Amino acid sequence: MAYVYILECADASYYVGSTRNLESRLWQHQQGLGGAYTSARLPVRLAYACEFASVVDAWGVERKLHGWSRAKREALIRGDYAALPNLARHRQDRLPGE
């Protein structure tokens, strides 16, 4: 199993990542051990997570989310899936099934 996750940082920015162990990775971020971006913006909270069968699938979705606008990420976090196609910058930004 693998996960894609979005953290909301103290400065209201979002951090997108992927991992095999969500609980451990979240703890690392919260302790300032998760990387330079999040350690400079503590505290962080988990805003969104999605489980995937493979690391390759999770990594592919993570790469897509990096290219998404803030508004599109916020729609995903809210679970407003109907809004996602309207917020796409380009056709290649869309997830399968959109």
pLDDT at 35: 85
CA atoms within a 13 Å half-sphere pointing along the CA-CB vector of 42: 13
Phi, psi for residue 68 in degrees, rounded to 5? -80, 150
Name the residue type at position 91: R
Distance separating alpha carbons of residues 75 and 12, to the nearest angstrom: 15
Mean pLDDT over residues 33-54, rounded? 95
pTM: 0.88
Q: State pLDDT tens for residues 6-34.
A: 999 999 999 999 999 999 999 999 999 98
Task: For the chain, give every domain's residue range.
Answer: 2-93
Distance separating alpha carbons of residues 69 and 26, to the nearest angstrom: 23
Distance separating alpha carbons of residues 72 and 68, to the nearest angstrom: 6
Domain 2-93 class in CATH: alpha beta
CA distances from 63 to 5, 43, 95 (A): 12, 24, 11
